[in-house]
Amino acid sequence: MALLQWGPDITGGRRFHIEDPNHEYQEVRRALHFDRGWTRIGKKEDCELRWTLDERAIDFDKLRDAQMVNHYKDIRCLTTKAGLTRTLDEELKWTASSDANAFFPRSYALDDESHRAAFVQDFRRTACCSAVKAFMDNMPALKEPLTTCLRVCQAWAHDLGDASYRQDDLTDIVWDTLLAYTYKCTSKQKASTPSLSGSATKLIEVEDPILKQACHRVLASLSSRHGQFSMDGSRNIWLTKAPEACRGVGISLHRKLEEILEVADRFPGRVAQKYVENSKLWDKRKFDLRCWVLLVGGGSCDFDAYIYEPLYARLCAKPWSLDDHLLLDEKRHLSNLAVNKGSADNLLGTQSDLETMVDVEKVKGGIRKIVKALARTAHQLASTRSRSFEFLGVDIILDDDAKPWLLECNLSPALARRNDAQSKLIDSALRGCIKRTIDRWCPETAPPPRDDGWRHLLTIEPAPKLPKRNRALHLNVDATALDRPSLVKMDRGSS
């Protein structure tokens, strides 16, 4: 699409400023200037609408009530990796009555001591569970450390509510040695049979029906109680993510605890998130779904949430693989278009393509539930205001059962155009965004409406104003002091 000329506008009328250094939001300027007669002005000039890439560029305390901006003051509670992790872990149950474990892969802010300790425990448990899964898949093992891994899984099942297993504090375990065993027995290297160094620690085929039965039983218990059991897979792979980076920058895959903690110590603010090991593949390649979400209003006015449908998929450039030597190949694991640029293949999939693979309406239903939970949380935590809105890019991955999992929620999502079909989706989404925001507040400049793909999800009405206090109302409380014998007598009577 040809770039618009960014010279001075002379149409008069309402004024706007838009920050768009990569020319990805040109349709916003086109819709405002050519369709509504608005004038684009400089960054420091006063205007009715200010559109920025980052909410920190807006001084919310100095905004007039009628002034429009494309951000909420505290939206970072959802749009940074650490913010999303903490919000879903600590706030979601209160803001949206939802359990993040149902749709968000376990995630930990590693600069927080409690999160770090919880991550270490989670990593150890999942590593031992992976070792038990490998044994049940007839992989070579060692009986003594395998038995310890079984014990860890049994203690985990107890903590999840299986009373058939006893409580176990596991304080006698040498974790470095046990984790080294789990790394080896779950390894996928070019060599045919993984082994520990030394003949005494060589992995072998373990034939023990009683041990196998115990492993089968504990895996069945964990499968029924641990909501992310299938998603965990059998390799115990984790992602580390930079706290505020985007476009795939600062993301790496790891199988070893010491590597993850070293990254966290070297780069403050890192987040560890469980990798979805059973992701659905598109022509043998990993993919995710980019969903655009629009939050509008709030404060003293109604708060509305929308999702743009149809969806589109972003594909990795190379076939997916969890082999150890390929874990650092980001073009197999990260579907960000910025990571995979330069590929000769078409890396975008349409909804019609997706319909040949999954039940799209069922997938959309799952995504809508996730977005509703995010919207309710934003309404509670993001300092909404009547003339603010937020255009977000929500990334969703599907597991092999086509269950949606939330990966990230992106502020001012990148809108680089890769083909004509995607360009039409972008333009339609942005026009619909203007229709539901600017036209809502400035109907006098609105052009005739066009059809678009935005779907309304929910409306939250503003809290009712409290009535003025009746100054003539006086409340009195009459009380009688009680001596000690009277209190003792009352206590005995109640028992």
Task: Grade residue 395 by pLDDT with cuts at 50, 70 and 90.
Answer: very high
Mean pLDDT of 155-175: 96
What does the mean pLDDT of the chain come to? Answer: 90
Higher pLDDT, 198 or 56: 56
Q: What is the pLDDT of residue 488?
A: 60
Q: What is the pLDDT of residue 192?
A: 43
Is residue 50 scored above 80 in pLDDT? yes
pLDDT digits (tens, 9 = 90+) for 225-240: 999 999 999 999 999 9
Q: What is the pLDDT of residue 443?
A: 95
Is residue 391 scored above 70 in pLDDT? yes
- Whole-angstrom distance, CA of residue 108 vs CA of residue 90: 11
Ordered DSSP codes for 209-226: HHHHHHHHHHHHHHHHH-
pLDDT digits (tens, 9 = 90+) for 18-29: 999 999 999 999
Is residue 63 scored above 50 in pLDDT? yes
Q: What is the pLDDT of residue 278?
A: 96
Higher pLDDT, 250 or 143: 143
Residue 209: count other Cβ atoms within 10 Å of its Cβ. 7
pLDDT digits (tens, 9 = 90+) for 286-341: 999 999 999 999 999 999 999 999 899 999 999 999 999 999 999 999 988 888 87
Q: What is the pLDDT of residue 418?
A: 84
Is residue 487 scored above 60 in pLDDT? no
Mean pLDDT of 453-475: 78
Q: What is the pLDDT of residue 308?
A: 97
Q: What is the pLDDT of residue 171?
A: 95
Task: Grade residue 390 by pLDDT with cuts at 50, 70 and 90.
Answer: very high
Is residue 6 scored above 70 in pLDDT? no
Cα 436 to Cα 159, 190, 305, distances in angstroms? 48, 54, 10
- Whole-angstrom distance, CA of residue 335 vs CA of residue 292: 16
Mean pLDDT of 112-135: 97
Structural contact between residues 45 and 25, judged by C-beta atoms closer than 8 angstroms:
no
Mean pLDDT of 246-275: 92
Higher pLDDT, 384 or 486: 384
Is residue 396 scored above 70 in pLDDT? yes
Q: What is the pLDDT of residue 493?
A: 60
- Whole-angstrom distance, CA of residue 98 vs CA of residue 89: 10
Least confident of 64-78, 99-113, 243-257, 296-310: 243-257
> Nearest-CA neighbor of 404 among 276, 271, 248?
276
Q: What is the pLDDT of residue 264?
A: 95
Q: What is the pLDDT of residue 162?
A: 97
Is residue 198 scored above 60 in pLDDT? no
> Nearest-CA neighbor of 298 among 73, 57, 50?
73
DSSP-based helix, strand, coil % in the chain, nearest 5: 40, 15, 45
Q: What is the pLDDT of residue 470?
A: 57
Q: The whole model's pTM is what?
A: 0.88
Share of the chain above pLDDT 90, in %: 78
pLDDT digits (tens, 9 = 90+) for 245-260: 677 788 999 999 999 9
Buried b (16+ CB within 10 A) or exposed e, 37-47: ebbbbeeeeeb
Is residue 40 scored above 90 in pLDDT? yes
